[in-house]
């Protein structure tokens, strides 16, 4: 058996030992299900070292184990009544964003919060008001944001208008004009065209949120 065959065999064996589906492993590694299937089937001839490192972390073993360089005593069963949880990571929770400062500047950060590791977010914002209730996002909810300067039409984004406090709205682009639209008919959308479009800065895309339940 050559080295790649050994790696594929180890990945498949370890995934099945942990009871992971391809989707479970995809969520933990940010690799697609089809890519993982091709790794195991041998349809991808080379597995980069950085991907081996990512897979080993998700599969709770060392890279050396996957590469066949060492043997490990690995847990293959989960005790009755004990449910494994997905890994967590910390991201900054931002307050008011200072005009002209980098989004993740220290003065913008009010706290750090834990989120599931498979959610690819760079920071979180607290939603204020009821302008996005139609999207299921309520006052006080935490919204996880992936930092990026553009979004596709209709996606929910964190935007700055005139450098003011970040607001969460759906964004629509049309021939140089940008419209930010609430998800609540109580509030009208706002459009900016021509030079005014430069007043709007997309600072990230909403990728997930958590509803905060109050007493």
Would you please indicate which residues are annotated as catalytic (active-site) residues?
A: 131, 169
Are 25 and 31 in contact by the 8 Å Cβ rule? The answer is yes
In 3-state terms, what secondary structure has residue 21?
coil
Main-chain dihedrals φ then ψ at residue 48, nearest 5 degrees: -60, 155
Element (H, E) at 17: helix 3-17
Give the separation between CA 191 and CA 181, rounded to whole angstroms.
9
Q: Where are the beta strands (DSSP E) in the chain?
A: 88-94, 109-116, 123-126, 142-146, 156-161, 167-174, 177-181, 190-192, 200-210
């Amino acid at each position: 058996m050559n080295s790649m065959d050994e790696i594929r065999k180890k990945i498949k064996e370890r995934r099945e030992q942990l009871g992971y589906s391809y989707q479970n492993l995809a969520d933990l590694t940010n690799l697609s299900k089809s890519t993982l299937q091709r790794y195991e089937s041998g349809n991808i001839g080379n597995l980069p070292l950085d991907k081996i490192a990512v897979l080993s972390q998700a599969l709770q073993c060392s890279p050396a184990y996957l590469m066949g360089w060492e043997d490990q005593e690995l847990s293959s069963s989960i005790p009755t009544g004990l449910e494994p949880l997905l890994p967590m990571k910390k991201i900054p929770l931002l307050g008011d964003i200072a005009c002209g400062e980098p989004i993740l500047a220290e003065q913008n950060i009010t706290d750090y919060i834990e989120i599931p590791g498979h959610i690819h977010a760079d920071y979180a914002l607290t939603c204020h008001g009821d302008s996005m209730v139609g999207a299921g996002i309520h006052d006080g909810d935490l919204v996880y944001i992936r930092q990026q300067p553009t979004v596709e039409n209709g996606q929910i984004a964190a935007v700055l208008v005139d450098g003011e406090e970040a607001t969460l709205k759906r964004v629509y682009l049309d021939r140089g004009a940008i419209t930010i639209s609430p998800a609540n008919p109580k509030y009208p959308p706002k459009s900016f065209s021509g030079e005014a479009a430069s007043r709007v800065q997309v600072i990230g895309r909403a990728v997930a949120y958590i509803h905060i339940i109050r007493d």
